[in-house]
């Protein structure tokens, strides 16, 4: 199966920043075999796609999400992170595998329609008797057709032990470690073409015991999988860590061996300059979530400083309860705007922002050798955007059109060479059915909460 995309602009996002004003891509099976300027050699066996007026970029990589939150969008609208969590935890504690499946399909469809080919989900709510929630979201990702890094999350620090979540929303340490190891055994694919990987992901310093943080790191390192958690999202978290541990969130993680090149951390908004330097030296990655940080008024992450220090910085939409839009391309623009609000108009270029959404994200997941740029030998994860319509047609620079302009129509999305989106429509599932299922699942969740004594 050979696929040729001809006549399009190409932003390869490779190490040299190679771009072609008019070029072609050749895809054989699940790999890219050629990316170059000019027309492709004629081959009658190939399926050809006319790329005129389109821009090809690597498929976008989403480094942080919580699919289940799709069912609790639009709540706690004026709350800080801690207020928002306290309001939502009791609702989330009523989640089960069936509701997770509906939420995950809605979240995944939104990601695919916004150019995402690889996504993370950080799932840390496993209610007793809720069924196999992790299996439900893995099945949803398989069905929608996105490459999936499932983070087996966890919380073991309930309110009675000084944590933030209610006791009925947390698990005990031994069952968490056993379930996480079982997920690695059952699902983790270490091969370079993997569609599914597992990471170990305790939720945050204020919902997880120190022992769970240590044992999670030990488990991940024994099994050769990556580590993920939330860090330094708000000033309240900083205060919590100072009171409980006598140090900043970054110092706390550093002491636990969690600043390292096999770790990526969501948010990292409140980092002192010495912490930024530590991230650079240790090559700790960051999943920057600009819309979510704005929605919760958390602050602006020092993205430019982190990149300058040498820390990889990818992008995340974050859970849909703090980013109701749930689309990935708009996060590229949002990252650019926030970096400039913090550091002025030269703080981040359109091309740096696109790199964060692609190759930097691949680096966060340890997959820069096979994902994140359009180069021969890499996996055929490609987004083809229309830049020939009202929103973009008059801009001569197609990358500027994509990043500064309105969300570009997605002409084609390939994951491992397989078409997932064509002509702005999802090919792998019915958008109408997904929307209906999500609406019914939301109602069921609300009814469960209303039925509580
Ligand atoms: Zn999050």
Q: Do the strands 227-231 and 263-267 form a parallel or antiparallel pair, or are they unpaired?
A: parallel
How many Å lie between the centroid of ligand 1 and the Cα of residue 135?
20
How many Å lie between the centroid of ligand 1 and the Cα of residue 247?
22
Rounded-to-integer distance, Cα 317 and Cα 291, Å: 7
Give, rounded to a whole angstrom, the gap between the first and last alpha carbons of the chain.
59
Task: Tell me if 356 sits within 8 A of 314, measured CB to CB.
Answer: yes
Buried b / exposed e across 259-268, counting CB within 10 Å, b at 16+? bbebbbbbbb
Q: Which residues does 201 contact at the CB level (< 8 Å), separation at least 6?
A: 122, 124, 151, 152, 153, 154, 216, 227, 228, 229
Q: Mean pLDDT for each 10-residue chunk of the chain (453 residues)?
A: 96 98 97 96 85 98 98 96 92 96 98 98 95 98 98 95 89 97 98 98 94 98 98 95 96 98 98 98 98 97 98 98 97 98 98 98 98 98 98 97 98 98 98 98 95 88
- Give the H or E element holding residue 229: strand 227-231
Q: HEC string of 251-276? A: HHHHHCCCCCCCEEEEECCCCCHHHH
How many Å lie between the centroid of ligand 1 and the Cα of residue 66?
6
Query: Would you call 310 helix, strand, or coil by DSSP?
Result: coil
How many Å lie between the centroid of ligand 1 and the Cα of residue 112?
19
How many Å lie between the centroid of ligand 1 and the Cα of residue 124?
10
55 strand-pairing partners: 9, 385
How many Å lie between the centroid of ligand 1 and the Cα of residue 296?
11
Q: Do the strands 263-267 and 47-50 form a parallel or antiparallel pair, or are they unpaired?
A: unpaired
Rounded-to-integer distance, Cα 51 and Cα 262, Å: 38
Listed residue (36, 28, 47) closest to 7, CA to CA: 36
* Cα angle value 408/410/415 (rounded, 5°): 135
How many Å lie between the centroid of ligand 1 and the Cα of residue 6?
39
How many Å lie between the centroid of ligand 1 and the Cα of residue 125?
12
How many Å lie between the centroid of ligand 1 and the Cα of residue 349?
26
How many Å lie between the centroid of ligand 1 and the Cα of residue 120?
11
How many Å lie between the centroid of ligand 1 and the Cα of residue 64?
6
Rounded-to-integer distance, Cα 157 and Cα 155, Å: 6
Rounded-to-integer distance, Cα 117 and Cα 176, Å: 29
* Cα angle value 269/304/247 (rounded, 5°): 35
How many Å lie between the centroid of ligand 1 and the Cα of residue 319?
6
Task: Tell me if 148 sits within 8 A of 141, measured CB to CB.
Answer: yes
Report CA 286 to chain centroid distance, whole Å.
11
How many Å lie between the centroid of ligand 1 and the Cα of residue 356?
18
How many Å lie between the centroid of ligand 1 and the Cα of residue 42?
47
How many Å lie between the centroid of ligand 1 and the Cα of residue 316?
9
The neighbourhood of ligand 1, an ion, using CB within 5 A, equals: 318
How many Å lie between the centroid of ligand 1 and the Cα of residue 265?
10
Listed residue (186, 189, 204, 184) closest to 125, CA to CA: 204
pTM of the full predicted structure?
0.98
How many Å lie between the centroid of ligand 1 and the Cα of residue 65?
6
How many Å lie between the centroid of ligand 1 and the Cα of residue 207?
13
Q: Which residues does 77 contact at the CB level (< 8 Å), separation at least 6?
A: none
> Which residue's entry shows tokens 């359109």?
350
How many Å lie between the centroid of ligand 1 and the Cα of residue 230?
6
How many Å lie between the centroid of ligand 1 and the Cα of residue 47?
40
Q: Which residues does 422 contact at the CB level (< 8 Å), separation at least 6?
A: 411, 412, 413
* Cα angle value 238/230/184 (rounded, 5°): 150
Rounded-to-integer distance, Cα 273 and Cα 283, Å: 15
Q: What is the pLDDT of residue 43?
A: 74
Q: Which residues does 145 contact at the CB level (< 8 Å), separation at least 6?
A: 112, 415, 418, 420, 428
Rounded-to-integer distance, Cα 311 and Cα 196, Å: 25
CA torsion angle for 181, 266, 404, 399 (degrees, to 10)? -50
Q: What is the pLDDT of residue 164?
A: 87
């Amino acid at each position: 199966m050979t696929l040729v995309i001809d006549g399009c602009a190409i932003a390869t996002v490779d190490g040299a920043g190679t771009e072609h004003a008019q070029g072609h891509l050749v895809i054989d099976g699940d790999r890219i075999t050629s990316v170059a300027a000019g027309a492709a050699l004629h081959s009658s066996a190939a399926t050809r796609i006319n790329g005129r007026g389109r821009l090809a970029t690597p498929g976008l990589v989403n480094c942080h999400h919580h699919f289940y939150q799709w069912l609790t969008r639009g709540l706690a609208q004026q709350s800080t992170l801690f207020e928002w969590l306290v309001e939502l935890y009791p609702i989330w504690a009523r989640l089960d595998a069936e509701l997770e499946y509906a939420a995950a399909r809605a979240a995944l469809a939104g990601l695919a329609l916004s150019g995402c080919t690889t996504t993370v989900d950080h799932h840390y709510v496993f209610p007793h008797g809720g069924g196999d929630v992790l299996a439900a979201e893995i099945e949803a990702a398989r069905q929608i057709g996105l490459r999936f890094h499932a983070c087996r999350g966890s919380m073991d620090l309930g309110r009675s032990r000084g944590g933030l979540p209610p006791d009925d929303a947390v698990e005990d340490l031994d069952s968490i470690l056993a379930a996480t190891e079982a997920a690695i055994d059952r699902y983790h694919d270490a091969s370079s073409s993997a569609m599914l990987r597992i990471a170990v992901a305790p939720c945050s310093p204020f919902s997880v015991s120190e022992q769970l943080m240590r044992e999670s790191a030990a488990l991940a390192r024994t099994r050769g999988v990556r580590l993920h958690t939330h860090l330094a999202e708000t000033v309240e978290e900083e205060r919590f860590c100072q009171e409980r541990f006598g140090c900043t969130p970054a110092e706390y993680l550093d002491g636990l061996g969690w600043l390292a090149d096999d770790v990526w951390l969501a948010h990292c908004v409140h980092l002192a300059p010495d912490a930024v330097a530590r991230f650079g030296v240790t090559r700790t990655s960051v999943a920057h979530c600009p819309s979510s940080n704005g929605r919760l008024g958390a602050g602006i992450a020092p993205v430019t400083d982190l990149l300058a220090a040498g820390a990889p910085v990818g992008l995340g939409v974050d859970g849909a309860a703090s980013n109701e839009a749930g689309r990935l391309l708009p996060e590229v623009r949002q990252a650019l705007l926030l970096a400039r609000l913090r550091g002025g108009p030269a703080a981040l270029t359109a091309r740096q922002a696109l790199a964060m959404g692609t190759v930097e994200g691949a680096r966060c997941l340890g997959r820069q050798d096979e994902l994140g740029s359009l180069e021969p030998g890499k996996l055929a994860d490609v987004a083809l955007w229309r830049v020939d319509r009202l929103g973009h047609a008059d801009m001569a620079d197609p990358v500027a059109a994509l990043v500064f302009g309105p969300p570009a129509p997605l002409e084609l999305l390939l994951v491992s060479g397989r078409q997932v989106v064509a002509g702005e429509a999802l090919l792998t599932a019915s958008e109408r059915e997904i929307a209906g299922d999500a609406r019914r699942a939301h109602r069921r969740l609300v009814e469960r909460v209303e039925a509580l004594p």
